A = this chain, B = another copy of it.
């Protein structure tokens, strides 16, 4: 492990255990460099990590301070706002299953070509899945994914988790995701599969997910029963 990560871990623990005064500043960088027998640059990389984690902040000419919401943060189980997919989110807490309503290989339409940056000739998977939480249907997920990334997409994979398949079998990493969240009245499918009554709305999430190398990997729309799911986001201000 890199030295600056070790140092960051040590300082993080001290902060969480209250070993540093919550009011006053942290020891100055020069002192920390002496204590950890390293250079100031290395200390700065460690502090930079903790800054991105939202634990501390620095002000030029004043010092480095602990954010006062640190105690509140430890109550939330929110590490970072990272996309994990539905399956992993509920791991261990409940059983998640999927019915595959559609799994088709076809050519993309104009919108899909644009969103997934594909040529007319590059095929996509068009997959619709009904997802169950503890045997109760809670969302319908409609995904368009480029065939060139996924290769052979079997029902076995779809029944489990596409994200698991991506990371473990294809060894690809998720990068950025753009999501648009809105509320909507239930449509015909929602009423049929999610058993929504006309007055029971859905929460709709339309997202484009990119791999770490920037290739678009999924363009999807998911509709959740309003009483079975909400989205949590953490937005960091500028550092």
How many subunits of this chain does the assembly comprise?
A: 2
Contact check: which of B181, B229, B236 meets A176 at CB < 8 Å?
Answer: B236
Contact-size category for A: 35 or more
A50-69 near B? 1/0 per residue, CB < 8 Å: 00001001000000011111
**Contact A54/B175 with A68-B214, A198-B199 known, Cβ cut-off 8 Å:** yes
**Contact A182/B230 with A235-B81, A235-B177, A236-B176 known, Cβ cut-off 8 Å:** yes
Cross-chain contact B185 with A200 (CB below 8 angstroms): yes
By a CB distance below 8 angstroms, the chain B residues around A179 are 232-235
Cross-chain contact A215 with B68 (CB below 8 angstroms): yes
Contact check: which of B54, B66, B201 meets A183 at CB < 8 Å?
Answer: B201
Is A1 at the interface (CB under 8 A from chain B)? no
Kindly provide the distance from the CB of A139 to the nearest chain B CB, expressed in whole angstroms.
Answer: 12
By a CB distance below 8 angstroms, the chain B residues around A203 are 181-183, 203
Which stretch of A4-12, A70-78, A103-111, A151-159 is in the interface? A70-78
- Known contacts A54-B175, A179-B235; 16 additional CB pairs below 8 A are A67-B210, A67-B212, A67-B214, A68-B214, A69-B215, A70-B214, A72-B117, A72-B216, A76-B178, A175-B237, A176-B234, A176-B237, A177-B234, A178-B234, A179-B234, A199-B199
